[in-house]
Amino acid sequence: MRFDVITLFPELFAPFLASGVTRRAFESKQVEVVLWNPRDFADGNYRRVDDRPFGGGPGMVMMAEPLSACLDSALAARGAAAPVILFSPIGETLRHEAVERWSAGEGAVLVCGRYEGIDQRFIDARVTHQMSMGDFVLSGGEIPAMAFLDAVARLQPGVLGDEDSHAQDSFNPALDGLLDCPHYTRPEQWKGEGVPPVLLSGHHVQIERWRRDQRLAITQQKRPDLIEAARAAGRLSPADEKALQKKL
């Protein structure tokens, strides 16, 4: 799959693409990332990409034409049409189910806004999807783009090394959409705190039941909406319901 990223700061992506376990996906081109700077498509000696907003007000607005010309070049290089994603506070909040869909697709063009915003005419004419990372505002779309690419890359075969790793993630359907349980490693004692005895027992059935109960308890405490969704979908067993009653 291929993601073309339109950004005024392509240099921000260099360490991200070369670091961590997900670099395997980028280096192998399982997830190909091509960076495009709209300033390269702007006119004039100063390659201006922004201007003051009509109607007044603070900040600057990214101009439609450099973005559109940059997008045209990105699509031409791809050789085919592709979804165009703008990271925006008004977009749909990204969730695991959507990440799974994108991770199985052919990629997209990611548009990273800056300044006060982007000329609405470009959004109306060229953007097919708007995506939000949550109810907060960042200085630009580069961090959301990296978060999105990381989430997609780690789901590619072989990237995490252990194929079962992402199946244990929070929100994964393999865990019925629940949050993950606590994890422990050596030493067995750390600053007077021990490891739950069941994890040292070697009894795999009891260990899995403990982990399931912990997932249920944490999800009930932190995200009760996920418990209700799992219940509505018929994913909770009688043992699950009993464990939830104990925690209430």
Domain ranges of the chain: 2-153, 169-247
pLDDT at 175: 75
pLDDT at 180: 94
Closest CA to 154 of 79, 202, 103: 103
- The C-alpha atoms of residue 126 and residue 139 are separated, in whole angstroms, by 22
From the list 65, 150, 169, 180, the catalytic residue is 169
Catalytic residue status for 89: yes
pLDDT at 162: 64
The topology (CATH level 3) of 2-153 is Alpha/beta knot (3.40.1280)
CATH classification number, 169-247, choose in 2.60.40.10, 1.20.1110.10, 3.40.50.300, 1.10.1270.20 = 1.10.1270.20
pLDDT at 246: 87
pTM of the model: 0.91
From the list 23, 83, 89, 223, the catalytic residue is 89
From the list 114, 126, 154, 212, the catalytic residue is 154
pLDDT at 45: 86
pLDDT at 163: 62
pLDDT at 41: 97
pLDDT at 87: 98
From the list 23, 24, 100, 116, the catalytic residue is 116
Catalytic residue status for 169: yes
> Residue ranges of the chain with pLDDT lower than 70?
162-165, 167-168, 247-248
Contact 112, 142 (CB under 8 A): yes
Contact 38, 49 (CB under 8 A): yes
